Structure 1
């Protein structure tokens, strides 16, 4: 009986290992299949994709079926993640404009000189 538990745990470990380290032919299959697999299945493949080639196969597959846009949420998030990882898609980083301190100081001085601005800001203060 004890031996069964050992074998069971060995097989479970092997199954987990196979899941994590998918074979390349599972990814090459994506090139020929005429069927769109679910985004959940593709995410599972992605978790096992340990090379750039495998991730590229997933990226190309999503592009081929044209489901990488926002309207296909599950595919879109995976497409974005892989695209950024492979360098095909740039991060949407906000650009900041640097304004010289002298310009900010001049703007603040002009605002303080503006009577309406001072009256408006004084209304909320307690006396």
Structure 2
């Protein structure tokens, strides 16, 4: 009976290892299948993807079925994660343009000198 518990733990450890380190043929299948698998299944594959090549297969698969849009939340979040990890998608960083204060001041002066601008603003204040 003691051996049975030891064998069970060995098989459980092996099953966990296989789950984490999926074989490449599971990912190559994605190139050929005409079916769209669930985002949950793809996320499970992603957890076991231990190489960039496997992650690229997942990325390409999601792109091929055109479910890489925000309306497909499960697929989109996985697509974004893999894309950032592989360097295909950059983080959204807002870029700011610095405008010299002298240029802003000159623009304001020109606007104040423009009679139409002043008349328009005066009309808005009366209402």
Instruction: Give the TM-score band, short-chain normalised.
Output: 0.7 to 0.9
Question: Residue 92 of structure 2 aligns to a residue in which SS?
Answer: coil
Q: Using the alignment, how far apart are the partners of 2:61 and 2:3 within structure 1?
A: 44
Partner of 1:80: 80
Please name the residue that 2:37 is paired with: 37
TM-score (norm 2): 0.75
Matches within 5 A, 1:1-127: 1-97=1-97
Q: Distance in 1 between matches of 2:29 and 2:15?
A: 20
1:53-98 CA deviation, whole Å, 9 max, x = no partner?
A: 0000000000010000000000000000001111111111233455
| SS of alignment partner, residue 62 of structure 2 | helix
SS at match of 1:50: coil
- RMSD between aligned alpha carbons? 1.5
TM-score (ref. length: structure 1): 0.75
Distance in 2, Cα, partners of 1:47 & 1:95: 33
> After TM superposition, what 4+ stretches of structure 1 lie above 3 angstroms from structure 2?
96-100
Counting matched residue pairs gives 102
Shift in Å, 1:99: 7.3
Q: Which runs of 5+ in 1 are unaligned?
A: 108-127
Task: In structure 2, list runs of 5 or more residues that go unmatched.
Answer: 106-127
